[in-house]
Amino acid sequence: MPTATIAGSEVDLNDEGFMTDPTQWNEDIAKELAANIGIELTDDHWGPIRFIREQQAESGVTPTLRKVSKTGGFPTKELFQLFPKKPAKKMSYIAGVPKPVGCV
């Protein structure tokens, strides 16, 4: 399993660059991960990111875009604006959790 230093912390990654241990995550890591994919985090980004982390911690499964939208109350259109093209994948990456099942 590869490791990397992100925001001064050693983290475990899978082959696609997703963190494999959500407990290693912190907001500084999130900021650097976001920058890696061209996103500068604003206050609007943190709501969906925190929601994903909470849901993943509770269920052990990363929520899909639909769940983030329907259960989390974040409009799909807004998620596409905040995390362009592949919002579920990008949110999960930044949140330090595995990408959702079915996400390519």
The mean pLDDT of 39-54, rounded to a whole number, is 96
> Does residue 103 have an active-site annotation?
yes
Instruction: Convert the pLDDT of each residue in 57-97 to its tens digit.
Output: 999 999 999 999 999 999 999 999 999 999 999 999 999 99
Q: Which residue range forms the structural domain that includes residue 40?
A: 3-95
Domain total in the chain: 1
Identify the active-site residue in 87, 89, 103, 104: 103
Q: Is 100 a domain residue? A: no
- In this structure, what are the phi and psi dihedrals at residue 42, rounded to the nearest 5 degrees? -120, 175
Q: Is 46 a domain residue? A: yes
Q: Is 67 a domain residue? A: yes
Q: Is 25 a domain residue? A: yes
Q: Is 22 a domain residue? A: yes
Task: Enter the pTM of the model.
Answer: 0.92
Whole-angstrom distance, CA of residue 39 vs CA of residue 86: 12
Q: Is 104 a domain residue? A: no
